[in-house]
Amino acid sequence: MDAAVKVATVKLLINGEFVESKTTEWRDVVNPATQQVLARVPFATQDEINAAVAAAKEAFKTWRKTPIGARARIFLKLQQLIRENMAELAATLTAEQGKTLPDAEGDVFRGLEVVEHASAIGNLQLGELANNVANGVDTYTVLQPLGVCAGITPFNFPAMIPLWMFPMAIATGNTFVLKPSEQDPMVTMRLCELALEAGVPPGVLNVIHGGEMAVNAICDHPDIKAISFVGSTKVGTHVYNRASLNGKRVQCMMGAKNHAIILPDANKEQTLNAIAGASFGAAGQRCMALPVVVLVGEAQKWLPDLVAKAKTLKVSGGTEKGTDVGPVISCAALSRIEGLIERGIADGATLELDGRKPNVPGYEKGNFVGPTIFSGVKPGMAIYDQEIFGPVLSVVAAKDLDEAIEFINANPNGNGTAVFTQSGAAARKFQEEIDVGQVGINVPVPVPVPLFSFSGSRASKLGDLGPYGKQVILFYTQTKTVTARWFDDSTAGQGVNTTISLK
């Protein structure tokens, strides 16, 4: 970067104030379509991380006592502010992450749904009561906040995933320290500004930036009680192991290799459109993307049609009208994807469509790779075994539904899967026998709405409880059971008996 060109610095958020970091380590936030430096993000110092946690710990003393209705109204206001600023949020997200504007708006909107869910906390954070479990004795439970919680988020959904985390944690009465991706933190910071405007008190929401040191500091800090993580399997496994050893509650949503089965009776045009969007949309940078398609029986003849459909997709900068596939996040990501395509050829897969080095007028410096399709893909090939995180689709053949289900179940990941068919019997067989946490029937990306919990499984998830939905209420609270007996004046002082009779 030219030293004469001044760019904005991303701030830390500590105790309600956006402050300049005193660090000496910075990273550029780069527009992946143009390589323009948009801002500089600091790698927070240990003292700054400690200050953020200390602010959250102090704020918890009063925030935990805030009436549940008052907490809910903050998120009613926040959802209004997000709607009013949707265009600005999407434009910022597109500039720093590369998504098309419709994809960016979808990113924000899916997070907004969780904010709306948080505003209903009064109906969600309810305990249970059993009246008269013994003579004059009642037992009931209350769901109490844990204290300081933390979130570590990835680059691919810089609006949605932070909004999966801090609204639910704060609505349940906790305070929060967020570490967004250092690659695209700007839209996250704008959302935090809106949260403060909506009424989140000082210290209740704090933001630090950084890399490995910041992650480890969060895992190790004795005052952080729970950590929510979304990102790669390598980092997620590290976070889970390190934080668990430190006695923290942890949920990690990690990598995946999602599959879709296409049966010959599926609606052809709708299925091809769905596969193209799920495989190549967001440049394939989704843990719920669709990088593997299993063509069953006669559906194997659809391969030329799938290739033809992929060729119609427009590759360009995210702000260009009609763009279907934007750039990948970084030069390093582009190099890795291109390297895996080379590996696929070397391993013996057939390259049906090569998306490398597309011609993108006006964006010659961008990190672009177009839709790429391999056939003849098998386990053991790098393009199948590794999560490519780019617009690369592997096509596998199976003779029948049983073989296709067996193939998917042999993969260690369990984030999402789908079947395309017009047969109710086939769909029911699939949903019953598939060993994957989230299932789509004629739905290629089966991410549940916030009324339900994100339920990836097996190697795609560590921890029993998922983000948002009913499960996250349990994750961010401690159940306290109270057994109570009250005496009227006529029985007071007639002796002490600590044994409760169940007769």
Provide the token pair at 166: 């801090």
Q: Identify the three-state secondary structure at position 296.
A: strand
User: What counts of helices (H) and strands (E) characterise the chain?
Assistant: 16, 23
- Hey, what amino acid is at 20? E
> Rounded to an integer, what distance in angstroms lies between the CA atom of residue 491 and that of residue 488?
6
Residues 149, 192, 252, 287: which is the catalytic one?
287
Residue 326's nearest CA partner among 339, 338, 337, 313 is 313
SS3 assignment for 180-209 = CCCCCCHHHHHHHHHHHHHCCCCCCEEECC
Pairing of strands 457-458, 413-414: antiparallel
Q: What is the CA radius of gyration of the chain?
A: 25
What lies within 8 Å, CB to CB, of 256 at 6+ separation is 287, 288, 387, 413, 414, 415, 416, 456, 460
> Rounded to an integer, what distance in angstroms lies between the CA atom of residue 186 and that of residue 31?
12
Alpha helix stretches (DSSP H) within 261-302: 268-280
Query: Does the active-site annotation cover 287?
Result: yes
Residue 124's nearest CA partner among 489, 472, 502, 490 is 472
Dihedral-angle region of residue 68 (phi above 0 means left; psi in -120 to 50 means alpha; beta otherwise): alpha
Q: If residue 11 lies in a helix (H) or strand (E), which one and from where to where? A: none
> Rounded to an integer, what distance in angstroms lies between the CA atom of residue 242 and that of residue 254?
16
Catalytic residues: 287
